[in-house]
Structures are given as structure tokens and as C-alpha cells.
Structure 1
């Protein structure tokens, strides 16, 4: 069973279907945090459009055929069935760098439902392009750097351009921008010029779009996971599984505070169900902050708070991971 299919809700006193009747688009839902957010929104009762480039018939440049958007949609529907919320997943193959495909996607949602309540901008797919070798910007591969910006920034802009007119049609809409790091943690240089730009951009997008969306009684929030135990992080980088992930700590001490994708998924679902979510407008926050605010936990019952832990490690303070769970 996939680790995003955990039966424990992380918030046992929560209503069964707080998002019943809501329509969500998770752009970039093939795997990792995107998949988990789609699943948890479905568990809470939403109808979730799951998009991405890898399908059962075609694999994206990421090169992972093991996760597909069809599987994500099936996991969403299964979660909605298991919880009794009625949440449903719908897979729509979409390259978010192609405006015509994104336009067709939002037109379909409009035809199907006439509304969009939650937009999650999680498109990425650039891990294979990152250069963390301390190479100066002018010596980096320009083509790879610009591709990274296109995948992590341009996709979000294109998606918002076409989806936000549908989101603002009704008050209460929520835009979630997903990145790596908070405004606070990203004050420090992220070791790679193009990656730094790519991951700071969603924070600024949220700030600006929050100002524009609040005029329509809608909200924008930027979220980040901590040290994410994504499928690729587990089997490619650390060569472990979800069951024995702690074996990866020997390779990287920061992995001691790693979290499953479900943790952020639960936090985002709780945020989407919060009637007072407008108080988050324009903010940059983390899975750890959302866990504390809404009382949700990771699949093991803990509440990892990765960014303070990572900072303490960087400062040479030898932190105890138990103090950050």
C-alpha cells in the first residue's frame, strides 16, 4: 500500500467530509507532495482534478514510469470511499508549459462544474537539472538552468493565468503555491543559482496574488514540506523504502526529521477546510506549522518540524531529532 493511502486521518475529531462539494485542481499530482495533497483533499470530500505529464502510456522527462496521474486519481477516489466523504479523483494529462493544454483543462472544469474552489500549484519535475556542486552561475549549464525556471516558475504562471478566473468566480477560493522552503528559511542562498530563483519565486507569487485575490474574497498561501520522503528521494537518492527510511540517516543526518508526503497533504486539506483561512493570505508556511496549527500529524503520529532542525544542524548545534517531532 502506498504511504499516501494511510487510513489514519491524523485528525480523528475532524468532520468526515469538510470539503464535500468542493472542486480542486492539483497541478503536478503525479507523485510526492502533489499526489498526497490530491489524496487528502479527496479524503476530505473534494472532487480533485489531478494533472501531470506521466501517464500509463507516456513518461515525462523525469523518467519515472512507476507513478502516474491515473494512479493518483484512483488513490483519491479510494480515499474518498474509505473515509465515506465521496471524494473523487479525475486524471487529466496536462503539460503545464503548454498554454493550450492548460486552457483546455480549465475549460473542462468549467463545463463539468462551473467552479473551482481550490487550486494547488505544485508543478515541478526539475530535480534532475539541479547542480549543487558549488559551481558558479556563469559556469552552469544555461539550458538546464532555464529549463528549471520554466518547469518551476513558468508552469505556475500559466496555470494561474487560466485557472484563477474560474477560482475568483465565487468567494472563498484558495490558491496554494508549493515550493521548497519558507520565506524565512529561503533568506539564505540555496547553493544553486537557478534552484534558488525557482524556489523563491512561488513565495513572491503568493505575496502578489494574495493582494489581488483578496479583492475577490479569495486567499493565496505558499506552503512547503520539510525533508520530504518522496518516492524519488527514497528509492533513488537514499535507496531505502518507506518501511526502512531511517537507514538513510547515516547518509544525511538531516533525514532524521524526514516526513512522509501525507503530512503536508493533511495540513493543506485542513487549511482548505478552515473557514477562517483568509488569515493566511499572502503567507509562507510549512507542513510543520500547519501540523501545529490544525493538530494534524504525519502517518506515524508525530509532527516533524524540519526547517528549524535543518537550521540547527547547519549551525553545528547537534540537535536531537526527538525535540523536533
Structure 2
């Protein structure tokens, strides 16, 4: 299985890349952060580390520095995959890199315009550029899979304003892109789905709350967030779900759908690294949104 993970440096992208490696895939780990050059997010994680984790898991990890706002670099990535293998089986569109650009609870007339527009370019334009240059290789053979990654299912984002117009639009747009891809790929035997993790214990989130993966339950925050945090998940959880989806001979049944990590876990019988099966979006909809005080234990 030949895979490109666009946005493979950390978080969800890294989790998906590693779990695809665990099923033996060759994974091109494409993003901007390398050991010699950091992206504007200025974090320490690198695509070389991700590629090494992919290989250690049983696959073949190949780091390729790629700025997905630079069409010529994405075209070069596509050309390399074509030269090396002549095909692409799975494209994971997880490019983001805009955590530093939005301001929560800030109306559009007070928000920095340049930062907002930069956020949209990183969140949406990158996915369009990726599609333009990698889809030709994907549709060369029937059965290609596109996995778009966002924050929030289509149903959740339809009914919840995500605190900031730029963030809201970015995450809603990725849901729509996956639906568009499902339509365009269908005549070529392709499948497109959009996935969202739940409350993700990413490298940045653990750092933000001053905990590690071993001590994550000790994090303290506002009460509602605290309760949702207890239903949080590691990047491996959604990675395992996507890896199972990639191996599913009937994966076309998912095409056009917007699903959370818990949906994939239920369908394929996978669990998080601790053996649990977190369902944070259900917990928010069924308990927190309704002002309920039901315990979180039943949702992981």
C-alpha cells in the first residue's frame, strides 16, 4: 500500500501515518517541519521522526519536506511517488498548521484579518492543491482512498458555531471537500471520507496542560473541558481506524460520509492504546450540550 500523509509532522497526521505503517504501508510523510527547518508553528516535531516511527511500526517511512501552499513542491512530491511506485493508494489530507492564527471568542471585526486569511489558506487551499496534484496518480488505478481530516463531524459543525469565523469556516469546509471528492472520484472507483478525532491528546495539547501521556489524567481545566478531557484519545486511536478503513474491501460504503474516530473504532473493532473506545462527540452531544451531569465513564 502506497500512502501520502499530507501534514504528517505531529498529532493526527503522525498517528495515522504510524498506524498505516503498522499494516506494512509505504508512507510518504510530507509536511514542512524538518530537523533542519521548522515551520511557522515552531514546534520540535519533525517529519523525519514520523518516518522513523512508521518504519519502526513495520512499514516504510519516507520524509519529504513539502509546503502544500507551493504547488510546484506538491507536483514534485507526486512525481517522486510516481517514479518510485507508479501509483498512489491512499491520500490523507491533514494539513493544518494554523493553531497560532485564530483568536477564540473574537468577532470578525476585531480579529486580525491577515491572520484569519492565512488560516484559511493553510486549512483549505493546501487541501485543494494537494488534490490537484495527487489525485491524477490516485485515479490512475481504481480503488483509491482519500481521507480528509478536520475537527468536528458534519452534523456537529452544522449546529455549533466554532467560536471564531475563520476556524469555523476552515473546519466546515474540509467536511464539504470530502463530500466533493466522493462525487468526483466515484466514476474512477475512488472513495473519499472525512474523519475527525475527538479530544486529542496531541503533543501540543499535552504540553499545553503540562502533562505527559503517562500523567494526562492529572490535567486541570474548566469543569466542562475537564469532563470532556476524561474522554480524550491518543492519535493512535484515529490512526487505527483509518488503517482498518484502508484495508476494507468494502470501503466505498463510507464514501461521502463524515465520521469520528469512535465510529471507525466501533465499525472495525479497534481500540485506543489503553484498550478503551472513547466517544467524546457523543458525550458532548448527549450530556454536555444538554447540561447533563452523567458520568464520562460510559463514553470511553
Aligned residue number for residue 75 of structure 2: 103
The match for 2:151 is 180
TM-score, scaled to structure 1:
0.89
Deviation at 1:140, TM superposition (A): 0.6
Distance 1:239 1:147 in 2: 29
Q: CA 1:25 to 1:245, structure 2 compared with 1: closer, same or farther past 3 Å?
A: same
3-state SS in 2 of match to 1:282: coil
Partner of 2:120: 149
Q: Deviation at 1:202? A: 1.0
State how far apart, in whole Å, the 2-side matches of 1:248 and 1:147 are: 31
Instruction: Indicate the SS of the match to 2:277.
Output: coil
Cα distance in 1 for residues equivalent to 2:143 and 2:280: 30
Match of 1:23 in 2: 2
Q: Does 1:73 align with 2:51?
A: yes
| Structure 1 residue 126, shift from structure 2 partner | 0.6
- Which TM-score applies when normalising by structure 2? 0.97
**Partners of 1:320 and 1:297 in 2: how far apart?**
20
Does residue 48 (structure 1) correspond to residue 27 (structure 2)? The answer is yes
The match for 1:205 among 164, 177, 181 is 177
SS at structure 2 position matched to 1:175: strand
* Superposition deviation, residue 315 in structure 1: 2.2
Query: Match of 1:89, SS?
Result: strand
Q: What is the DSSP-based 3-state SS (H/G/I as helix, E as strand, rest coil) of the residue aligned with 1:95?
A: coil
- Secondary structure of 1:220's match? strand
* Deviation per residue, 1:241-261 (Å, 9 max, x gap): 101101125443221111000
Contact 1:260 1:299 in 2 (8 A): yes
Do residues 38 (structure 1) and 17 (structure 2) align?
Answer: yes
Query: Segments of 4+ in structure 1 off by > 2 A?
Result: 249-252
- 2:110 paired residue number: 139
Where does structure 2 lack aligned partners over 5 or more consecutive residues?
A: none
Distance, in Å, in 2 between the alignment partners of 1:111 and 1:229 is 37
1:303 partner SS: coil
C-alpha contact (below 8 Å) 1:309/1:319 kept by paired residues: no
Task: Tell me the CA shift for residue 313 of structure 1.
Answer: 1.3
Q: Describe the superposition over 1:223-252 as per-residue Cα deviations: whole angstroms up to 9, x where unpaired.
A: 0000000000001x2111101101125443
Q: Write the distance in 1 (CA, Å) between the matches of 2:205 and 2:174.
A: 22
Matched, 1:243 2:214: yes
Of residues 294, 297, 314, the one that matches 2:289 is 314
Distance 2:211 2:284 in 1: 21
Give the CA RMSD over aligned residues.
0.9
User: Contact 1:249–1:256 at 8 Å: present in 2 too?
Assistant: no
User: How many residues are paired up?
Assistant: 295
Match of 2:141 in 1: 170
1:211-230 matches, cutoff 5 A? 211-230=183-202
Q: Which residue of 2 aligns with 1:9?
A: none
